[in-house]
Amino acid sequence: MSAMSVCPNCGSDKVQVKVLPKYHYRESGLDDIYLSGDWVTETACGSCGEKFISIKLEQQLLQVIALDLLMRHGLLAGKQIRYLREACGLTQEQLSKELGLRRRETVTGWEREAEPTRNWAAELLLRAVLLRRFRSALDEEGNNHLAPFHIEGLIEFEQVFSKYFQNFFVPRKHVRLSVQNTEERWQPEPLCSQG
C-alpha cells in the first residue's frame, strides 16, 4: 500500500506511486536544487490523470537549503536572497528596514538580479541580518526541523561569521596616503622604504 492511496484531486483509489531517484526541485524557487535518493515520490491517478509529488521531511529540506545558502561563500544571487528572506518570514519592506535602507526597491532590485550588485560590506550586513532572523525563526516553538548536527554546524558558522564580521568593520588605524607626481603619472609613495 502506498503512502498516498487515494487521489487528492478526485478521490479515486486508482493511483500508482513511483520513487523518483533524481528530482529537479523547482518548487523551491531556486534553479540549482536537485534531490536524489528515495525521498521523492510521484503519485499518478489513473482516473483523472493528475500527478502529485511528495517529498519526505520537506520542512527540514527547506531549512537545510536556507542553512546552506547562509553558509555559502561568495555573494548571494537574487533568487537566493528571496529564498532566505522568505525562510526568515520577512517581507521586502521589513528586510530593507532591518538593513537600514531608505527604500524597499533596493531589496527588490537585489532579488531581481541574477548577479549580485552589492559590495562586500552590504553582503556582510545582509548575511548578518538574515542569519539573526533565521535563528529567531528556528527558536519559534515547533518551527525548528533541523537535526542536531545541523544546529551544531550553524553554531560553528555563527562564531566564525561573527569574528569575520567584527574584523571587517573594526576601525582601522588611520594611515596617511602620500601621492607624488612623477613626470609620467600620479602614484602613491610606498608606505615603508625598502632597504
- Res 172: pLDDT: 66
pTM for the structure as a whole: 0.80
Neighbours of 53 (CB within 10 A): 13
Q: What DSSP designation does 164 have?
A: H
Strands (E), the chain: 15-19, 22-24, 34-36, 40-45, 51-55, 179-181, 186-188
Residue 41: strand, helix, or coil: strand
- The pLDDT-based confidence of 191 (bands split at 50, 70, 90) is very low
Residues of the chain with CATH 1.10.260: 59-169
Alpha-carbon distance of 71 to 166, in angstroms, equals 17
Grid cell for residue 69: 545558502
Rounded (to 5) percent helix, strand, coil in the chain: 45, 15, 45
pLDDT digits (tens, 9 = 90+) for 118-163: 888 899 999 999 999 999 999 999 999 999 999 999 999 999 999 8
Comparing 32 with 171, which gets the higher pLDDT?
32
Average model confidence (pLDDT) across the chain: 87
**With pLDDT > 70 as the criterion, what percentage of the chain qualifies?**
86
Kindly indicate whether the domain formed by 59-169 is annotated with CATH number 1.20.1290: no
Grid cell for residue 81: 536572497
Residue 80: pLDDT over 70: yes
Residue 75: pLDDT over 70: yes
